[in-house]
A and B are shown apart, each in its own frame.
Chain A
Amino acid sequence: MSILITADTTCIIQGITGREAVSMTRECLDYGTRIVGGVTPGRGGRDVHGVPVYDTVEQIAKKTRVDASVISVPPAFARDAAFEAIEAGVKLLVIVTENIPRFEVAQMVELAELRGARIIGPNCLGVLSPGEAKIGGLGGRAVDARKAFTKGRIGVMSRSGGMTTEICNTLSAAGLGQSTAVSIGGDAIIGSSYAELMPLFEADPETEAIAIYSEPGGRMEADLARWVTDHRSRLPVVAFMAGRFMDAMPGMRFGHAGTIVEGKADTTAEKIERMRAAGIAVAERIEDIPALVWKQLGR
């Protein structure tokens, strides 16, 4: 099984005629994702790799079931695109766009909560359930995605899109396939944090362990540690923490908008301590993750 998406998930791409979105469409189709339409206002009637383009989400939603939407539009249009998808009844939004003002992200998240929709991202690469489907650019071309991602029982969550692939590749090389890999996004406010996705993995009978990639900045790791403790999670978690060099640099921002150390609780040292206290194994290197997963699984 998988979480969020399966081979049956129908997906649209908002901003489908953009340069990145065009190649993303090709990649997703090649991987087997059911892309049922694309949206670019003013470009209705065209097609992208055979996917029909519409002016609005509603036009597609009237014709067919839309489970998910990938939003790949410039930051100035992202909030509107997200509102449009949510109000058209789409329940899963993957927002790829970066540099969306925080206030607008909060608004999207709030509307999604009201309508029972879920947002992944912004500033993420997407979701991939090996052997089922991928939505977003995660893993790149289908041929490359199949090399790095293999079907299996590890749930993966990562604040970095690129490192999602790296970690899955390392797991795959060690014979540990993935149930679903989620690039959750690198911003300070994101639609779905580790702790918010945990219940989904917890409910998926085929997921047996979790691997996460984390960074300095924010409280998401502390939140995960709390969740794991409070819910006596059945899933062992292995974490990798990048950006340890940033601990001595409060206020610095490297890589992602969300990586900024503002206080002691933001540092990697503090996060590692909190996670370890909750029974989460923290890997010193990426390549140590598989062995830790095996150990946590008791094998």
Chain B
Amino acid sequence: MFERASPAAMSRSTRDRMRWTGGSAGAPASRAPPAAKRPPNASSVPFVKISIPIHTPSTISRMPSTFAMGVSSPLVSAFRQLPLWRPWSKKARPREGPLLRFYEYESKQLLARHGVALPKGSRLARSADEARQIAAGIAGPTVLKSQVLSGGRMKAGGVLFAENADQAAAAAETILRLEINGHKPRGVLVESRQPVAQEYYLGVTWDGIAKRPVMILSDMGGIDVEEVAEKHPDHIAKRHFSTLLPFSEYRAKQLVAQLASGSDVNALVRFVAPLARIFMQYGLTLAEINPLAKLADGSFVALDAHVDMEAEARSQHAALLRELGIGDDETRMARPPTKFELDGAAINAADHRGVAGNVTEFDGTLGLIIGAGGGSLTLFDAVRSHGGDPANYCEIGGNPSVGKVAALTRLILAKPGVKKIAVMMNVVSNTRVDMVARGVIKGVVESGHDPGEKIAIFRIPGSWEQEGFKLLGKYGVEFCDRSVSMYEAAGRAVAKMKRA
């Protein structure tokens, strides 16, 4: 919304808005170019573990490389836009345990529990009446913010200002009805709106190269922190900290002292230290306060906050999640998985042996049964580079049972538009070739098809391959051993599809 132009160049109203907490809180909406941007230092990029669904191959080429969603910082932007909604796909869903993203009000509750100061009266309202009561309690100008897991709140009209309780009620009513990027708001956060003297950026995330958490502070908050890092590196401070030692405040002081002085040092430490401790305590991948504002009266408050918890850490922090009202079954994804994908997940969950399932739906005609991990990435690329049209991505590996493989085969063959399937993996170590062969043949036969006709290619070399190849030969399935590369095998499958 606002460039950091000289105040003189700005209209009075713009300048005024900047100086108020609410204005900055949602401000970057129209300004922030939304791309998944790098944080200041290449090595400080957080790893997010989220899974989202896939689009159809035909949409891939059309897809913009960045998405305008309006976010409040590059770090946030990198995350906010990720998995939560995908306007280009009808098939959004998590493939596996997604990252748990907290709403702003939940993030703030967590921060407040650890002593982080919030704007006066910060509370969630679920109705216009509740908003009126909260605003009346604040007794002054308020900001009302839509609680959605989507960027672009400000731009979409999800952040409004009110001078009194009646205006607040009216604003809440508008916001509660407003759907943003397909998200219905969970509620409206009502907070006091106060004049701001200075904005900071504060974030804690993982540095995958250093393998340590890193704290990042900038005295140019509220705007694109990456841009700050590039253009004004002297306005960015960073410090790593230990995961073994208890967090010690001197680390926070070292960070803050690079950018602040006087009483601001201790005031800022009271935000940095709790944020670092929360990050460690709750298995977070991102904890961010942006903007962190110094108000005109000299006090500091967290204007906006963003917390993401790693899926793997979720079970350890069940108590906290319960207290915050986050249900065990809340995936925080924009839309439910497709039936095809749910069925795939159910097949995989049916028994604990190996992996077979975890499908992601595409619109193509060639069903894929491809090995998990790197093999499937390689094979998916290979199919596409031959001009193939995949109907799905899937994972198969470990030592899945024959029944599981057969069920996956049936599922993929039952998907409308699927003409043939290709069964391909890298040279396998701990998957038995004969078991996979038996499973896919069983699945094809049970679907009422001829394996020799439906299976475009079978390329899984490795343990028990002779037994597998014998079986495939019996059913007239084209197979190949390790002398045929993954790329070539994919090419054969695609060629068959084109002939069919």
- A interface residues (Cβ-Cβ under 8 A, vs B): 20, 23, 75, 99-103, 105-107, 109-111, 114, 125, 137-141, 144-145, 147-148, 158-163, 165-166, 169-170, 173, 186, 188-189, 193, 213, 215, 217-220, 222-223, 240, 242-266, 285-287
Contact = CB atoms under 8 A, between A and B. Distances in A.
Interface string B62-89: 0101110000000000110111000000
Contact of B47 (A161, A189, A250): A189
Given A102-B206, A106-B213, A245-B60, A259 B280 contact: no
B374 A251 contact: no
A173 B481 CA distance: 13
Given A160-B375, A163-B375, A251-B48, 16 more contacts: A101-B283, A101-B312, A101-B313, A102-B285, A110-B243, A161-B374, A162-B373, A163-B374, A166-B375, A186-B374, A215-B374, A250-B81, A252-B54, A254-B51, A254-B393, A265-B45
Max chain B C-beta neighbours (<10 A), residue from A114, A163, A186, A218: A163
A263 B462 contact: no
Contacts of B42: 219, 222, 265
Nearest to B309: A101
Contacts of A220: 208-209
Given A110-B242, A165-B429, A248-B60, A243 B381 contact: yes
B118 interface: no
B247 interface: no
Nearest to A258: B47
A199 to B, nearest CB: 16
B371 to A, nearest CB: 6
Nearest to A260: B48
A253 B63 contact: no
B486 interface: yes
A109 B378 contact: no
Looking at chain B, what size class is its interface with the partner chain? 35 or more
A219 B209 contact: yes
A220 B96 CA distance: 24
B38 A263 contact: yes
Given A217-B47, A263-B36, A285-B485, A138 B373 contact: no
A251 B47 CA distance: 10
A30 B226 CA distance: 53
Interface stretch (B2-10, B121-129, B420-428): B420-428
Interface in B85-136: 95-96
A169 B482 contact: yes
B244 interface: yes
B419 interface: no
A271 B372 CA distance: 22
B482 A186 contact: no
Interface string B195-212: 000000000001011011
B185 interface: no
A266 B393 contact: no
A13 B304 CA distance: 48
Max chain A C-beta neighbours (<10 A), residue from B50, B206, B381: B381
A103 B36 contact: no
B60 A162 contact: no
B152 to A, nearest CB: 16
Contact of B244 (A110, A137, A166): A110
A268 to B, nearest CB: 9
Contacts of A217: 47
Max chain A C-beta neighbours (<10 A), residue from B43, B393, B427: B427
Contacts of B285: 102
Interface of B: 35-38, 42-43, 45-55, 60-61, 63, 65-67, 78-79, 81-83, 95-96, 206, 208-209, 211-213, 242-244, 280, 283, 285, 310, 312-313, 316, 360, 371-378, 380-382, 384, 393, 395, 397, 425-430, 461-463, 482-483, 485-488
Nearest to A244: B381
Given A253-B49, A256-B373, A103 B243 contact: yes
13 contacts: A106-B243, A107-B243, A125-B429, A137-B429, A160-B374, A223-B209, A251-B52, A253-B49, A254-B380, A255-B376, A261-B36, A262-B46, A286-B485
A106 B211 contact: yes
Given A20-B430, A188-B206, A245-B60, A255 B381 contact: no
A286 B55 contact: no
Contact of A162 (B61, B78, B375): B375
A161 B427 CA distance: 10
B433 to A, nearest CB: 10
A264 B66 CA distance: 10
A253 B51 contact: yes
Max chain B C-beta neighbours (<10 A), residue from A147, A219, A223, A286: A219
A217 B209 CA distance: 12
Nearest to A125: B429
A102 B312 contact: yes
Contacts of A223: 43, 209
Max chain A C-beta neighbours (<10 A), residue from B53, B360, B380: B380
Contacts of B397: 162
A105 B310 CA distance: 13
Contacts of B95: 253-254
A186 B377 CA distance: 13
A139 B47 CA distance: 29
Given A100-B312, A255-B377, A250 B36 contact: yes
A76 B242 CA distance: 21
A260 B382 CA distance: 20
